[in-house]
Chain A
């Protein structure tokens, strides 16, 4: 690679949110082999996907390798851009899936590992579990934020290119002799940031179970509030500990004095 392209943009970091997760359901279910293989009771899909209104992932992601449990045939599945980066399988047990992300050529970065623990059984509060059972759909996903520190100049240009949002555009207008124009159809402007509100028909954020729509600043505030609550508890514990330490010091002083007196 010539030296000019590997030059990096100093003091700059480009962040991209994306979602790692899996969906699972009881078999038989549409989209999975029927009848299912012997003993297989669950169908699941593990995936990596961008935010619903975010920039295209293929700008930085070249391919993804999913390493399944070694009992699967052909356990490492590689999916090249443009994706979708997902693996659909059936099974009966949960395990950790190693996900290896390969970056675009111009990024000049090595591949990195992420891990996702496959969740098949309903989880969360009882209410949530009931809901997951009734829908026959368990969604376990988390938001991941990748930070490209001091990207190369070429990569930086690619990451700040307007074309990244082209995949969100919808073809419109096919007048004679006119080129079809592409426009954004969503009601929010596409952005790499978290949307203010969950986008998909106002589905409320449900503790990270949401199918992509839950990822919003609203949810971020919920998480923050939760953490702040924890901080408050922690502060209280710290105070108690300090009070106890103070008390001990007093006792110690008293004992020390008596010891000192006894020594005299």
Chain B
């Protein structure tokens, strides 16, 4: 149902400022009768207040005279306070071109080129000046004796510009911007430029199916790259799960044959034991030598290996061994040192221990007398009560001292006994 507001909206903003009674909430019963009363929607009703707006007044700015003697006026609407002085607002767009200049002498000395005559060069420069350096216009206007492409013109022009620049300011005394300019001019590569344009042109005139194909290919590439990350992650995870030992030269069971031999060795070793932990596979090709005779033969030939094999078997049996080896392999030797990790083959005490305990506990013996004796000796030889630095070498040194201290105490005990005996004996002898 078209209300007045809708129509106004349709007619546009032009007439919207005229006072319009708002559609408002019309009672629902009244609405159909209103629509019926109106025969047709108003079409482009001219606003009643037309002509009330004052006519626009126009003034103009006189531009400063240009070089070629022309001048022009720039018209604009007059506003209330349009007493503004004529400002040359557009003067800054009147850019003057900096075209390199040369004379006959310089040309003869530096700028000669077998493909260009002086006249041609002169006309190129004149054209450049005239066309304000717009190359598409220049190539349009250029009419020389020989057919030339825009790239030819450009390379000629740029090389001359660079030469003149270097003549005016030697390269050694150029500022950074000058040198950048010089570099740019010198690096102009006509062939590359031409091929670039050709490529761009080809790109412009592509057919629809080619465009489509490219889009498809690009999206395909996109998809592959997206999946690459997840694929990599999955692979990494798989590898981690497998936790395969890194095959190195020291790993001697690389081939299946070697593995079979190894299995046979383990099996043979296991048979020697009371409680057998390995079961034969039942396949004679793998289990090999069923007889005792062949077992003994293999034992004699692999006596050394067998020990190692047995040890390996024992280590590899607990399931904890596999992930554990992975843990310690993760760190390099330097990192192990950095993080203070010590790999020990001795039996470690459980839980937390302090290195300094190794420096204090041995001082205390079971009896107070013994403890005092130890303390006396240590003080005598100048070992401080508190050693502030319990590093492994210090602990080792201290332990060697302690063993010597104990040896000394033992010796003294013996000495005491012997002296007693000596006294008794000598008394006996004297009597």
Enumerate chain A interface residues (CB-CB to B < 8 A). 7, 9-17, 55, 103, 109-110, 112, 114, 141-150, 153, 156-157, 159-160, 164, 189-194, 207-208, 215, 219-220, 223-224, 226-231, 233-235, 237-238, 241-242, 244-245, 248-249, 251-252, 255-256, 258-259, 262
Q: Which 7 A-B pairs have the closest CB atoms?
A: A192-B340, A208-B388, A145-B355, A142-B388, A149-B348, A233-B381, A230-B381
Residue of B whose beta carbon sits closest to that of A256? B425
Q: Is the CB of B422 within 8 A of A255?
A: yes
Q: Is the CB of A193 within 8 A of B354?
A: no
Which residues of chain A have C-beta atoms less than 8 A from B425's C-beta? 252, 255-256, 259
Q: Count residues on chain B whose CB falls below 8 Å from chain A CBs.
A: 61
The interface centre, meaning the residue of A12, A234, A238 with most chain B CB atoms within 10 A of its CB, is: A234
Which residues of chain B have C-beta atoms less than 8 A from A190's C-beta? 338
Q: Is the CB of B344 within 8 A of A12?
A: yes
B401 at interface by CB-CB < 8 Å = yes
Q: Is the CB of A234 within 8 A of B401?
A: yes
B398 at interface by CB-CB < 8 Å = yes
Q: Bound state CA distance, A153 and B322, in angstroms?
A: 13
Residue of A whose beta carbon sits closest to that of B315? A10
Q: Is the CB of B327 within 8 A of A153?
A: yes
Q: Is the CB of B343 within 8 A of A12?
A: yes
B3 at interface by CB-CB < 8 Å = no
Residue of A whose beta carbon sits closest to that of B321? A10
Known: A11-B348, A251-B422. A245 touches B411 (CB 8 A): yes
B14 at interface by CB-CB < 8 Å = no
B137 at interface by CB-CB < 8 Å = no
Q: B411 contacts which of A193, A238, A252 (Cβ < 8 Å)?
A: A238
Which residues of chain A have C-beta atoms less than 8 A from B380's C-beta? 233, 237
Question: Which of B25-33, B153-161, B246-254, B413-421 makes up part of the contact surface?
Answer: B413-421
Q: Bound state CA distance, A245 and B413, in angstroms?
A: 11
Instruction: Provide 10 A-B residue pairs closer than 8 Å at the C-beta atoms, listed in order of the A residue.
Output: A9-B327, A11-B343, A144-B354, A144-B355, A153-B324, A156-B327, A227-B387, A238-B411, A241-B408, A252-B422
Residue of B whose beta carbon sits closest to that of A222? B389
A257 to chain B minimum Cβ distance, whole angstroms, is 9
Q: Bound state CA distance, A230 and B398, in angstroms?
A: 10
Q: Is the CB of B390 within 8 A of A144?
A: yes
B355 to chain A minimum Cβ distance, whole angstroms, is 4
B309 at interface by CB-CB < 8 Å = no
Task: Kindly list 7 other residue pairs between chains A and B, CB separation below 8 angstroms, not including A11-B345, A11-B348, A143-B391.
Answer: A13-B342, A13-B344, A192-B337, A230-B381, A237-B380, A237-B408, A252-B418
Q: A238 contacts which of B349, B351, B407 (Cβ < 8 Å)?
A: B407
Which residues of chain B have C-beta atoms less than 8 A from A194's C-beta? 391
Which residues of chain A have C-beta atoms less than 8 A from B428's C-beta? 259, 262
Which residues of chain B have C-beta atoms less than 8 A from A208's C-beta? 388-389
Q: Is the CB of A193 within 8 A of B337?
A: yes
Q: Bound state CA distance, A73 and B422, in angstroms?
A: 64
Which residues of chain B have C-beta atoms less than 8 A from A226's C-beta? 382, 384
Q: Is the CB of B354 within 8 A of A7?
A: no
Which residues of chain B have C-beta atoms less than 8 A from A11's C-beta? 343-345, 348
Enumerate chain B interface residues (CB-CB to A < 8 A). 320, 323-324, 327-328, 330-331, 335, 337-345, 348-356, 377-378, 380-384, 386-391, 393-394, 397-398, 400-401, 404-405, 407-408, 411-412, 414-415, 418-419, 421-422, 425-426, 428-429
Q: Bound state CA distance, A226 and B378, in angstroms?
A: 13
Which residues of chain B have C-beta atoms less than 8 A from A193's C-beta? 337-338, 340
Which residues of chain A have C-beta atoms less than 8 A from B382's C-beta? 226, 229-230, 233
Q: Is the CB of A13 within 8 A of B341?
A: yes
Q: Is the CB of B393 within 8 A of A224?
A: yes
Q: Bound state CA distance, A191 and B386, in angstroms?
A: 26
Q: Is the CB of A12 within 8 A of B328?
A: yes
Which residues of chain A have C-beta atoms less than 8 A from B340's C-beta? 14-17, 55, 159, 192-193
Q: Bound state CA distance, A13 and B327, in angstroms?
A: 13
A254 to chain B minimum Cβ distance, whole angstroms, is 9
Residue of B whose beta carbon sits closest to that of A157? B327
Q: Is the CB of B404 within 8 A of A231?
A: yes
A261 to chain B minimum Cβ distance, whole angstroms, is 9
Q: Bound state CA distance, A7 and B319, in angstroms?
A: 11
Q: Is the CB of B390 within 8 A of A150?
A: no
Q: Bound state CA distance, A253 and B407, in angstroms?
A: 24
Known: A10-B320, A11-B343. A234 touches B335 (CB 8 A): no
Q: Bound state CA distance, A145 and B391, in angstroms?
A: 7
Q: Is the CB of B354 within 8 A of A145?
A: yes
Q: A231 contacts which of B350, B387, B391, B397 (Cβ < 8 Å)?
A: B397
B345 to chain A minimum Cβ distance, whole angstroms, is 6
Known: A13-B342, A223-B389. A109 touches B418 (CB 8 A): no
Which residues of chain B have C-beta atoms less than 8 A from A149's C-beta? 348-353
A262 to chain B minimum Cβ distance, whole angstroms, is 6
Q: Bound state CA distance, A231 and B381, in angstroms?
A: 8
Q: Bound state CA distance, A255 and B387, in angstroms?
A: 47
Known: A11-B343, A11-B344, A237-B408. A259 touches B429 (CB 8 A): yes
Residue of A whose beta carbon sits closest to that of B391? A220
Q: B418 contacts which of A10, A157, A248 (Cβ < 8 Å)?
A: A248
Q: B388 contacts which of A14, A223, A227, A256 (Cβ < 8 Å)?
A: A223
B142 to chain A minimum Cβ distance, whole angstroms, is 48
Which residues of chain A have C-beta atoms less than 8 A from B327's C-beta? 9, 153, 156-157
Which residues of chain B have C-beta atoms less than 8 A from A13's C-beta? 341-344, 348
B390 to chain A minimum Cβ distance, whole angstroms, is 5
Q: Is the CB of A237 within 8 A of B348?
A: no
Q: Is the CB of B404 within 8 A of A238?
A: yes
Q: Is the CB of B349 within 8 A of A241?
A: no
Q: Is the CB of A148 within 8 A of B408?
A: no
Known: A10-B320, A12-B343, A160-B331. A220 touches B389 (CB 8 A): yes
Which residues of chain B have C-beta atoms less than 8 A from A103's C-beta? 352
Q: Is the CB of A147 within 8 A of B352?
A: yes
Which residues of chain B have C-beta atoms less than 8 A from A142's C-beta? 356, 386, 388-389
Q: Is the CB of B381 within 8 A of A148?
A: no
Q: Bound state CA distance, A145 and B388, in angstroms?
A: 10
Which residues of chain B have C-beta atoms less than 8 A from A224's C-beta? 393-394, 397
